[in-house]
Every structure is written in C-alpha cells, then in structure tokens.
C-alpha cells in the first residue's frame, strides 16, 4: 500500500453543530481522503445544509473543529480557503440580469487580485466548464432566460471554474432531468478519481448507494452513523432515519431501496 503523507482533504474532529435549539450532530468524527465521495443523507430539517455550511467554514460549530487539508479554517490565510474548497449553494438567486459567461467567471474570484480583470485564460477555463455541463453556445445568454435545470448546471459550472480540491454540493441534482443527474454524478466521480474530495447532500438513496464511497446518515436528533456506503446503507438504519419503512430489492449484485 502506498503511503500518503498528505493530510485528508476534509476532517471533522468531535464536531457538534446546532441550529437554533436543534442538534444536527454531536461529536461527529470523520475524514475524507482524496478520491472519496461522501453522501450526507437525512430527513427534511435534519440540518444537512447547516452541516455542509459548517464544513465549508461559513458557520461556527458549537464545539469541535473542521479541518480543511489538515488545518482549521482560521489557520489559512484569509481568502485562500476559497481556492481549496468550493460550495454549491442550494439556490442561486438572481436579482439582476447577467450573462451565462459572467456568472461562470465568478468562480475565478479567489484567484484574482483586487484590481485584476479576468484574463483570456480565465475565460477559457469558464468556457470549458460550461461545455462540460452541456452549456456550450450559452455564453452570451442572459441567466433569467434559462430553465431551472440549465441554471443548476450553470451553478455547477461556476463551481468547476473555481477548481477547488474539495467540492461541497448541496442538492446538486435539483431541477435536473434523469440524463443530467447521472451526467453530473459521473462528472464528480471523475473528479474524485483524479484526486479531489466530494461531499454532497442527496435525497435519492439509490443514487447515493451507486455513487457514494462513504455515507453520513443523520437521524435528525443529533445522532449519526458514518462509514463506508455498504455498511451504512441498510434497511434498518434507513427506515429509522427517514421514519418510513423501506425494503431492499435485489437487482443482481446491487440492492435497491424501495419505500414500503
């Protein structure tokens, strides 16, 4: 086995997160290595987005620490963390019109000095990311003219333009049709295979089973289970976490979870 001296991309050290009086997780420990894909599952209101924001360093935990590439957020030079981790927010409000290319280019912000303008190289990165999300030819379109699914792919393209090591995705599949759901998940599987880390909130248990290397299951009351996807995703645990009975249907080697 090859020795990896690099610290894990993301780590939680006895992490406790609360929102209001509601406990999201207590004493959570996990690490995410390059190549790992973590899926966070839990019922509505369990605090998945809150936890993701905490992991992104946008929110102080109640106790414990989040380690980004081995260091707490505060230890990184200000602004540098944006070159290391990127967050896909759950919704992308647009109050003012902008072109698709301008929107994708915001991902270059962490790399530009205060007075810099985007260079032709930045523009090439943005156009490439748009093409990867199936948005070639959209560069000059106004964002408000896009469909919901196109906007979601644009938001993902802007995140790809940021080129972080760690991708934190809050419901990346919202508004996407079946084809684009799989295409997006395959794209992030490819990024993980080339050494990135991916942590995402999903709602589809079967897609989680197919794409996750690790799963974090929140029970909605501060309890949690973390581990390799195969050991966490069991009928008993999922039924308890979602408060609805499930059963497993075998399809060859894979089991599919179906609500009863």
Partner 1 sequence: MASTQPAIPLTPHRRSHRRARLVLAGLVLAALAAFAWSLSAGALPVSGSDLINAITGGAGGMETDIVRTLRLPRATAAFACGGLLALAGALMQVLLRNPLADPYVLGISGGAAVGALGAILAGAASGWIDAGAFIGALGATLLVFGLAHGDGSWTQTRLLLTGVIVAAGCGAAVALMLSLAPEGRVKGMLFWLMGDASSVSQPWPALVLLLIGLVIALPFARELNLLARGEITARALGVRVGRLRALVYGLGALLTAVAVTTVGSVGFVGLIVPHLVRLAIGNDQRLLLPAATLAGGVLLCAADTAARTVVAPIQLPVGVLTALIGVPVFLFLLARHPR
Name the residues that contact partner 1, by CB under 8 A: 53, 56, 58, 78-79, 81-82, 86-87, 89, 91-99, 101-103, 105-107, 109-110, 112, 114-115, 117-118, 120, 123-124, 127-128, 131-134, 136, 139-140, 142, 144-145, 162, 180, 183-184, 186-187, 190
β pairing state of 214-218 and 254-259: unpaired
Cα distances from 85 to residues 69, 144, 168, 196, 219, in angstroms, run: 10, 27, 7, 10, 26
Residue with tokens 């395959």: 186
Q: Tell me how far, at minimum, the Cβ of 176 lies from partner 1, in Å.
A: 11
Q: Tell me how far, at minimum, the Cβ of 192 lies from partner 1, in Å.
A: 14
Closest to partner 1 by CB, 160 vs 209, is: 160
Task: Provide the CB-side half-sphere exposure for 152 (13 A, CA).
Answer: 18
Looking at the DSSP bridge assignments, the partners of residue 63 are 16
**Nearest 10 degrees: CA dihedral of 7, 10, 14, 18?**
160
**Nearest 10 degrees: CA dihedral of 61, 65, 67, 70?**
160
Closest to partner 1 by CB, 95 vs 260, is: 95
Q: Tell me how far, at minimum, the Cβ of 193 lies from partner 1, in Å.
A: 12
Closest to partner 1 by CB, 58 vs 249, is: 58
Q: Tell me how far, at minimum, the Cβ of 21 lies from partner 1, in Å.
A: 16
Closest to partner 1 by CB, 48 vs 224, is: 48
Closest to partner 1 by CB, 70 vs 79, is: 79
Q: Tell me how far, at minimum, the Cβ of 188 lies from partner 1, in Å.
A: 11
Query: Cα(181)–Cα(188) distance, rounded to whole angstroms?
Result: 11
């Amino acid at each position: 086995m090859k020795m990896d001296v690099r610290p894990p991309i993301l780590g939680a050290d006895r992490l406790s997160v609360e929102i209001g009086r509601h406990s999201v997780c207590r004493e959570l420990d996990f690490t995410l290595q390059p190549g790992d894909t973590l899926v966070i599952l839990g019922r509505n209101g369990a605090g998945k987005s809150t936890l993701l924001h905490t992991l992104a360093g946008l929110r102080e935990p109640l106790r414990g620490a989040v380690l980004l590439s081995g260091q707490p957020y505060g230890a990184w030079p200000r602004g540098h963390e944006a070159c290391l981790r990127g967050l896909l927010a759950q919704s992308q409000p647009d109050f003012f019109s902008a072109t698709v290319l301008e929107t994708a280019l915001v991902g270059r912000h962490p790399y530009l000095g205060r007075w810099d303008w985007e260079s032709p190289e930045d523009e090439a990165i943005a156009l490439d990311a748009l093409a990867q999300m199936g948005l070639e030819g959209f560069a000059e379109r106004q964002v408000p003219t896009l469909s919901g699914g196109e906007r979601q792919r644009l938001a993902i393209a802007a995140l790809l333009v940021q080129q972080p090591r760690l991708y934190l995705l809050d419901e990346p599949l919202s508004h996407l049709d079946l084809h684009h759901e799989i295409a997006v998940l395959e794209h992030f599987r490819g990024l993980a295979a080339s050494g990135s880390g991916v942590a995402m909130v999903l709602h589809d248990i079967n897609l989680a089973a197919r794409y996750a290397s690790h799963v974090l299951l929140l029970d909605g009351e501060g309890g949690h289970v973390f581990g390799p996807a195969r050991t966490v995703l069991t009928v008993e645990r999922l039924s308890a976490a979602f408060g609805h009975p499930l059963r497993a249907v075998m399809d060859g080697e894979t089991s599919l979870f179906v609500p009863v």
